[in-house]
A and B are shown apart, each in its own frame.
Chain A
Amino acid sequence: MIILGIILGIIVLVILWYVATYNKFIRLRQQVKNAWAQIDVQLKRRHDLIPNLLESVKGYMQHERGTLEDVVKARAKAVSATTPEEAIEAEGELTRALRQLLMVVENYPNLKADQHVLELMEELRNTENQIAFARQAYNDTVMIFNASIKKIPDSIVASQMGLKEYPFWEIEEESDREVPRVQF
């Protein structure tokens, strides 16, 4: 009788643990998906913003054709990317091109005096930062997720649910590792 009770107790505990772990994984997966969705929203916003920005700075920056063209090319590539791998690569290129542009702008005092350009620049900086922070948040969540599906004994539940590790959004360059410290 006692043994039966103990066995029953253990079974109940195992079921409770299973349910709790299952729910935890569902929640974590949702967090990762949310973080990814955030990045997606920001990337789209960036694509929409660039043509406007280029249109207004074109007149001021005759000597920076190369920088501007780099941005246009990178944007076209990013918009037409179909697979996630392609997207990550193209967006990385676009980030570098835009960062170059933001740096060059510092050398044009006339540009900084134009309220409209300043507003667009602020929006661009905002988008760049949002992407960087979204990526940071995504990587942090992925790290937690990946670590927790490998933990024993939770990994049993994870493998039954068919959960796999999510990829990190890798940072290609050392200089990219820093969150932008842009300022006026």
Chain B
Amino acid sequence: MKPTTFWEIERAKSRAAKVLFLIFFPFFTLSMLGLFYLLKFFWGIFRGGGFWEFLLASSFMSLILYFMAKAGAKRQRILNFLISLKAQKPDLQDLKHRQVQNVVREMAIAASVPEPEVYIIPVLARNAFSAFDIISITEGAVSSLERDELQAVVAHEMAHYLRGDSYYKGIISTFIMAISTLLGASLFLSGVNKNRDKNRKGGGWAWDFIIVVIYLYLINLMARLLNAAISRKMEDLADARAVQFTRNPLALASALYKVSRDRVRGLASFASPALSSLFIVPPNINSLDEGHGFFSNLFSTHPPTRKRIGNLLNLAHADWNTLRQKAVKKRLKGDFWVERDGKWIGPFTLEELLEKTWVGEGAKIKGKEGTFIFGPQFLQKFTRTQGNCPRCGGPLYETHYEFVPIIRCGRCGGILVREDRAMKLIARGESLITRQEMEFTRKKVEKTREKLISGGANPKTVDPSSPLKCPFCGRPMERKFFNFVTYTPVDFCPKCKYYFFDGGELETIIAGLKRIDSLYK
């Protein structure tokens, strides 16, 4: 039956906790019992203790650990993690983010639960995770997934939320950490002890310690295997439940396909091992390439993505070809060509043309109705905003770049974007960049590198013009490298928190990141 209230979600949580208690409590207690015997046997510690005393002591220890873990599985920890990633609530002025918010509302209705909180993590990696009543999705995933795929991902996370899986995972990580700590401590002690023995017996192996370490190592291994098995089961169940909510298995399959074909593995460095099992696909590897061997499956907290997709395709009566076709982003065929460095690039639709920041005043454009010159009249349907372009003094218009609100100069193509939206532009732009644009970027970045080598690694070397003035507050802007991949110098107003990208710079950054990624593919 579907839970309808927070109370029932709590009950589901306590069910997860009960299962844990039934599996891990005896496991940990027995391990501790064994450890007590080993300690008694080798060093005569707790010499007076018999079976019952040891059992009592070890169950007491597990109980304390359990309650500590329960107290530690707190929502605040997840919030802190999100804050450290600069995650934000969806930006409702951005249509794509609004879609995420709407999809969450839809899935909450499908599952008959109160709406969970949503956070968007501003990184290019494609992933999602849920913990307690918080669902978070990375910007890379939001940008690359279609509406129905977002729905499927949210439904999967909603299923975890309903079953209180994150609560389970939070507690279990504490148990495993406790065992690892014991292992670490005994390794350390064995080193100390070996030195002490040296004085007495003249060195040699501390066999007793080696046995204790091996014992703890085996316990650690078993705990991990047990946890991985339970976690894999949870993922399968969440996939099934997601299909129950959306009745659209193909969408979840293509979402998993896109997410696992992620070229940017950037999230690995953020997610601690304890948190990594919370994600929809493991954040540390390209999961379509992951091993299929017996051992890699045993230790994985997720079932092989290929298998998950296969199951969903069976449900949808579809095959891999259908899936690949669905996953390819369909580009609208436009009929505009634009001249760049003596070459005609295209075809673009008119909207795409307006989103290319390197298209500025004077650009030659070839359309069905002949050739014409680009000018501010193309932007006249947009709202004019106060201030003038810091680079050329041209008029500024409020437009959108793949649904992200930006301010664009009608003359030179430069754009102003709020600091918190800059990462979004890059994630969104990925699918817009054409092969020809990539070529231009490659040459441009090479030239920049040469300049930097001869002139010193300073933004001023690449762009020696005098500092720009912020169009909103009039103060001089700071010039800095946006990243150290393409060495693109951008201007930033620390007071208004706005970036200024010169015409074409945004595409350079996007294409540069894309190129670097493909090197590691």
Residues of A that sit less than 8 Å from B by CB: 30-31, 34-35, 38, 42, 109, 113, 115, 118-119, 122-123, 125-126, 129-130, 133-134, 136-137, 140-141, 144, 178-179, 181-184
Q: Bound state CA distance, A83 and B332, in angstroms? A: 46
Among A109, A122, A133, point to the contact of B107 (Cβ < 8 A).
Answer: A133
Count how many pairs of residues, one from A and one from B, have CB atoms less than 8 Å apart in the complex.
68
B77 within 8 A of A: no
From known contacts A136-B110, A137-B110, infer whether A109 and B349 are also in contact, taking CB-CB under 8 Å: yes
**Given the complex, which residues of A lie within 8 Å of B400, measured CB to CB?**
115
**Given the complex, which residues of B lie within 8 Å of A123, measured CB to CB?**
102
**Given the complex, which residues of B lie within 8 Å of A38, measured CB to CB?**
109, 112
B11 within 8 A of A: no
Chain A facing B: main interface SS:
helix
Q: Contact check, B95 vs A126: say whether CB atoms are below 8 A apart.
A: no
Q: Contact check, B112 vs A129: say whether CB atoms are below 8 A apart.
A: no
Q: Bound state CA distance, A41 and B156, in angstroms? A: 25
Q: Contact check, A31 vs B246: say whether CB atoms are below 8 A apart.
A: no
B430 within 8 A of A: no
Q: Bound state CA distance, A141 and B3, in angstroms? A: 11
From known contacts A119-B95, A126-B105, A141-B2, infer whether A181 and B112 are also in contact, taking CB-CB under 8 Å: no
Among A30, A119, A137, A181, point to the contact of B2 (Cβ < 8 A).
Answer: A137
- Most B Cβ at <10 Å: residue of A38, A125, A181: A181
Among A34, A126, A136, A181, point to the contact of B148 (Cβ < 8 A).
Answer: A181
From known contacts A133-B106, A137-B109, infer whether A182 and B147 are also in contact, taking CB-CB under 8 Å: yes
Q: Contact check, A122 vs B95: say whether CB atoms are below 8 A apart.
A: yes
Q: List 19 A-B contacts (CB under 8 A).
A: A35-B112, A38-B109, A109-B349, A113-B350, A113-B351, A115-B95, A115-B400, A125-B102, A130-B105, A130-B109, A133-B106, A133-B109, A133-B110, A136-B110, A137-B112, A141-B2, A179-B248, A182-B147, A184-B147
Q: Contact check, B2 vs A140: say whether CB atoms are below 8 A apart.
A: yes
Residues of B that sit less than 8 Å from A by CB: 1-2, 4, 95, 98-99, 102, 105-107, 109-112, 146-148, 151, 245-248, 251, 332, 349-351, 400, 403
**Given the complex, which residues of B lie within 8 Å of A178, measured CB to CB?**
247
Q: Bound state CA distance, A141 and B2, in angstroms? A: 8
Q: Contact check, B147 vs A134: say whether CB atoms are below 8 A apart.
A: no
Q: Contact check, A179 vs B246: say whether CB atoms are below 8 A apart.
A: yes
The 6 closest A-B pairs by CB, nearest first: A133-B110, A126-B102, A183-B146, A133-B109, A129-B106, A183-B147
Chain B facing A: main interface SS:
helix
Q: Bound state CA distance, A181 and B2, in angstroms? A: 23
**Given the complex, which residues of A lie within 8 Å of B95, measured CB to CB?**
115, 118-119, 122
Q: Contact check, A181 vs B251: say whether CB atoms are below 8 A apart.
A: yes
**Given the complex, which residues of B lie within 8 Å of A31, measured CB to CB?**
2, 4, 112
Q: Bound state CA distance, A126 and B105, in angstroms? A: 9
Q: Contact check, A144 vs B102: say whether CB atoms are below 8 A apart.
A: no
Q: Bound state CA distance, A31 and B107, in angstroms? A: 17
Among B105, B109, B112, B248, point to the contact of A141 (Cβ < 8 A).
Answer: B112
CB of A119 to closest CB in B, whole Å = 6
Known: A38-B109, A118-B403, A125-B102. 12 other contacts (CB 8 A): A31-B4, A109-B332, A118-B95, A119-B95, A122-B95, A129-B106, A137-B109, A137-B111, A137-B112, A179-B247, A183-B146, A184-B146
**Nearest-neighbor residue (CB-CB) of B3 within chain A:** A31
Q: Bound state CA distance, A184 and B147, in angstroms? A: 7
- Most A Cβ at <10 Å: residue of B105, B107, B147, B245: B147
Q: Bound state CA distance, A134 and B151, in angstroms? A: 15
CB of B435 to closest CB in A, whole Å = 23
**Given the complex, which residues of B lie within 8 Å of A141, measured CB to CB?**
2, 112
